[in-house]
Structure formats: structure tokens, C-alpha cells
Structure 1
Amino acid sequence: MSELQVIGQIENTHLIKTRNGIRIAMERMPVDWIWSNKEVKEFKKLWKEDKPLREIAFELDKDEFDCLPMVFELLYLEEIKPRENWNIW
């Protein structure tokens, strides 16, 4: 049995049993969770300027999916305001 087969077997038996069928959101996504203070400041500035998320990601040289957790955090902390109709793209 190859190493990948063994890993797959362990994931299919042990991990599913311990998670009890629970799915963890974003677990398989390669999200960059690390932001510098400068990037956060620039993100907030661009958000306030009502820039689309795609443009913000481009300006910060990040993937759009890297920006989503930052949107949620800043909204939660009330450091940015929600956009009408969640128009973020």
C-alpha cells in the first residue's frame, strides 16, 4: 500500500469518526490568514472608497478568498461598514 493510500485510509476512517460527519468550512482552502498592519490599513481605505473586492485583492497582491476572512473580521469588529445588499464583488 502506498503512502497516499495509507493517508487516505486514515482520513476516511479516523478523521470522519472523530469529526462525526462535521464539515469544517475553509479547511481545504489555501487561505493566507496573515496580514500586516499596513495591508489592513490599505484594505480599510479601499473598502471605504467602495472598491470591489477583486480590485482590493489586486491592489494588495492577494487572492479574493484571502480577503474574505478580513472582510468578516473587520465587519465583526465594526471597523468597516457593511455594503448595501452585500455588494462586495
Structure 2
Amino acid sequence: MLFDCLECFPGAVATISLGESWSMLFRSDKEDRKAEYLLHRQSAAVLAGEVRERWAHEIPKRKKEGNVLRGRRVSLTFRRARPVTDHFEVEI
């Protein structure tokens, strides 16, 4: 499961799914809740707000998606990084 570093990468995260359609699993960090969503090929998803702050996400390891063998998945993820000087003191 992946929790993003909110301090390192503030704001929304966008991902573009290329290749095959795969499911993404979300788990609540405070409650025992799960949700699964299909990321269709050539689709985009934006993770922001409560989804980023309170839910972990992953692409589960499976050989099949439903009754179909999984093909190759490629995704591009876009995040805004906080400048290094916001986290560390720099001596000059």
C-alpha cells in the first residue's frame, strides 16, 4: 500500500493509465474500509483531498483482471514537489 508524502508532494496527484485496464485498491487509514476502481486504458485519475490524505492505494498483484490475463500496464504520474529548501536548512 502506498501513502504519499503529503509534505513532500503537496496538492493533487494525477496519473494517466496506458496499456491494459487494471484495478486500483484504496484502503482507509482510520477505518477498515476498502474500495476498488477500474482504471481503464488511456484514462486519467486525479487523487486529491481526502483520497490523498486518508486513503492508501495500490495496484494489487494479480495474474488476471476478472477472467482476463493481465497485460502490460504503464502509467505516468504527475506530482508537484516542494522545493528542498522548505525541508532543510541550507548553510551558505
TM-score when scaled to structure 1? Answer: 0.29
Higher relative contact order (CA 8 A, sep 6+): 2
Higher strand fraction (1 or 2): 2
Larger radius of gyration: 1
TM-score calculated relative to the size of structure 2:
0.28
